[in-house]
Chains A and B, each alone.
Chain A
Amino acid sequence: MFRDMTFNDVSRLDALDDARADFVMDEDTFRAFYDRTARGVWAYLARVTGDRQLADDLLQETFYRFLRAAGTYESETHRRNSLYRIATNLARDARRRSVIRAALSLAGDDIERAPSLDDAGATERNADFTRAMSRLKPRDRAMLWLAYAEGASHSEIADVLGLRPGSLKPMLSRARRRLAVLLGRAPERNRS
């Protein structure tokens, strides 16, 4: 097999073997993990970016980077947090790129007004929620989604978003208040 190969080809094949070994899990483990988590990650990305197409792209990239990351995970929760951290970073990068693109094109179309989830088949309540979420900062969206849709603990949210656990509680409280006001379920002024 090696007869017609140059040294370059052989070294390339070695590199390919090394690359294959770089994956953090085997195919069966990955597929099971993907089936458990992909839907949740997609929903998170769709809600944080406000763009379904982008969520499709970022989902694939998230799992690819997760596979390539040479991490060791103590538990399923740790592994899942790592996955969400990658998704968060990708969503953040995508938002930065989209802001730069908007600035260059002078379109003024920032991430807050990026194509939102398709409301046609959704309930009015869900449409209101989508509108309210789109008016929050991306970090607040991520925080609220992780806390109330994914049921993540404060320390997990802080880990995923790269925040200090101590500063998370007041931030989450403010984000929750803003969303309640935007949903029209709380007065504008703080009551406490």
Chain B
Amino acid sequence: MKPVECEFEAEVLAAVLQSRWPRRVDASLRTHVASCAICSDVAAIAGAVDDAREETRTQAVLPDSGRVWWVAQMRVRREAAKTAGRPITAVQVIALACAVGLLGACFGATSTWFQSALGRMVSSLAALDIRAWLPAATALVAGHAALIVGMAAVILLVPAAVWLAVRE
């Protein structure tokens, strides 16, 4: 098994970072590094990394700490407002759906006119001969194709646009 660390590693690293490597170190350390793969790799890369560190740190254009704090505060407030608003919206939607359903059920159960109209509609639909209507429907579609496509597009696009606007 190949060794992955060496007891002189820290010493070599310190020598490189303090610009003592290779001239101002003991000859015994130089001899060791020449024969040790780990220490020679440390000596090879430590100086390059340290130079790059200095170079990279000077390239940083950092925002002011006060600005970072302020932006974080604003973001927390925005996210908190969004989080607080989300369950309320959901509750409102559910309440509206319940109210509409309840209203419909009350109307259907109490209105005799509605019940008789519903009965007439069901019986006329049952008696409807679709084959007789098919040629007329085909002719209507063929004659007003552009209008029908336009209406279909509006029916599909308007809810999508409203949804997108509300989401934003």
Interface residue A179 (Cβ < 8 Å from any Cβ of B): yes
- Give the shortest distance, in Å, between A49 (CB) and chain B (any CB): 12
Interface residues on B, range: 35 or more
Task: Tell me the minimal C-beta distance from A46 to chain B in angstroms.
Answer: 6
- B3 in the interface, Cβ–Cβ < 8 Å? yes
Inter-subunit contact A43/B56 (CB<8 Å): yes
| Interface SS, A side | helix
Which of A46, A67, A117, A192 contacts B37, CB < 8 Å? A192
Asked if B50 and A11 make an inter-chain contact with CB atoms under 8 angstroms apart, the answer reads no
Inter-chain contact B85/A22, CB cutoff 8 Å: no
Judge if B149 is at the interface, Cβ distance under 8 Å.
Answer: no
| B151 interface contact, C-beta 8 A | no
| B59, A183: Cβ atoms closer than 8 Å | no
Is A101 an interface position by the 8 A CB rule? no
**Which B residues are CB-close (under 8 A) to A148?**
13, 45-46, 49-50
Check if A15 sits within 8 Å of B44, measured CB to CB.
no
Q: Of the listed stretches B60-68, B101-109, B121-129, name the one at the interface; the rest are far from the partner chain.
A: B60-68
Q: 20 other contacts beyond A60-B71, A144-B45, A191-B37, with CB at 8 A cut-off?
A: A12-B80, A12-B85, A15-B83, A15-B84, A20-B73, A23-B76, A30-B65, A39-B60, A46-B56, A64-B68, A126-B52, A128-B48, A148-B45, A148-B49, A149-B53, A169-B4, A173-B4, A173-B38, A176-B38, A192-B3
Residues of B within 8 A of A (CB): 2-5, 13, 36-38, 40-42, 44-46, 48-53, 55-57, 59-63, 65-66, 68-69, 71-73, 75-77, 79-81, 83-85, 88
Q: List 13 A-B contacts (CB under 8 A).
A: A12-B85, A15-B80, A16-B84, A19-B80, A23-B76, A34-B68, A43-B56, A47-B52, A64-B71, A169-B4, A176-B45, A179-B41, A179-B45
